[in-house]
Chains A and B, each alone.
Chain A
Amino acid sequence: MTVDKRLIKQVINGDTNAFRQLVDVHHKRVIHICLSFVNIPHDAEDVAQEVFIEVYKSIHNYRGEASLSTWLYRLSVNKSLDFIRQKKRQKRGNGLVVSYEKTDLENLQVSSKQLPSDRMEEEERNRILYKAIAQLPERQRVAILLSKIDELAQQEVADIMKTTVSSVESLLVRAKKKLKELLLAEKEEI
């Protein structure tokens, strides 16, 4: 029996310490996934917290068909996408333009060893990149953002997206092609 499965069994039997161990093991990756979608650390942690609460509430229904990590990461993607949609609706309601704002990106913790000018340049690059990624179709966006997470293998990305590795590869090719077009168009505008 894997560690995860043993911990799940303990959680089902009411052991909250086992759940703490689960959170401890997986929280970093979950936050990284959420952050790659929502771009704001504070929001990413809120979404990640919701993910773990949801897991705790529905752990009795976990049948072990997919590994716990796949279930967790799929939930993270879905919650992040819900969060983005909700935010878009709110912004639309307030009459604001939907885009990644610079202040959002400034919240990303960039390595402190950079010079201010380097940092500004990098922020600007990130802003353009995020804007382009936001314009991709949803599945392409999910594939490209998940493939960017260091710890995730392509098979895991495929499992999270409930598809095959070859589909993920083709999604990535299309996403990168589209990104190139979008970034070139952006650059020409500048």
Chain B
Amino acid sequence: MLVMKRKEKHIQDIDQLLNKQLVNNYEPSFNFVDNVMLKVEELNVNKPVGKVLQIVFRMAAAVAVVFFLSNVFILLSSMGNSSNQQTATDWTGIYEQKSSASWYDYYNDDLFLADN
């Protein structure tokens, strides 16, 4: 019974314990604000150089990306062209071989009526 009572008391104490936390009594160091402002001033001094470097890096990165993309584009388009040309030659060759008609016949005078 005594143990139970002690436990209950302990449970009731939790809120009290939490409220008693001494964090709210803590007084910050007197020079805290000055220290923060010192850091801010340091930041301001280093800022222009940092900004210039940042711009240079960004531009370099952009140039590199453009260079890479243009190379990739050139490479892909040259591959595409050669394969297209080859296929086109193949197909026209086969067509010309298998077809009984000649492409040049279309320009014959016999087709005058059809054209008009």
Contacts and interface: CB of A to CB of B under 8 A. Distances in A.
- B partners with A: yes
Interface of A: 16, 19-20, 23-24, 27-28, 31-32, 35-36, 41, 44-45, 48-49, 52-53, 56-57, 108-111, 125-126, 129, 144, 148-150, 176, 179-180, 183-184, 187
A41 B22 CA distance: 11
Nearest to B34: A20
Contact of A149 (B24, B33, B36, B40): B24
B59 to A, nearest CB: 21
Interface of B: 7, 10-11, 14-15, 17-19, 21-29, 32-33, 35-37, 39-41, 43-44
A28 B30 CA distance: 11
A31 B25 contact: no
Chain B interface main SS type: helix
A144 B18 contact: yes
A149 B28 contact: no
B10 A183 contact: yes
Nearest to B17: A129
20 contacts: A16-B44, A20-B33, A23-B33, A27-B33, A28-B28, A31-B26, A35-B26, A36-B23, A44-B26, A52-B40, A53-B36, A53-B40, A108-B22, A111-B22, A125-B17, A126-B22, A148-B23, A150-B24, A176-B14, A183-B10
B18 to A, nearest CB: 6
Contacts of A32: 23-24, 26
B44 A52 contact: no
B74 to A, nearest CB: 40
Contact of B14 (A35, A48, A179): A179
A27 B28 contact: yes
Given A52-B40, A129-B18, 19 more contacts: A16-B41, A16-B44, A23-B36, A27-B32, A27-B33, A27-B36, A31-B32, A35-B23, A36-B23, A45-B28, A53-B43, A56-B40, A109-B27, A144-B18, A148-B21, A148-B23, A150-B24, A184-B10, A184-B11
A148 B32 contact: no
A7 to B, nearest CB: 14
B26 A49 contact: no
A148 B40 contact: no
A109 to B, nearest CB: 6
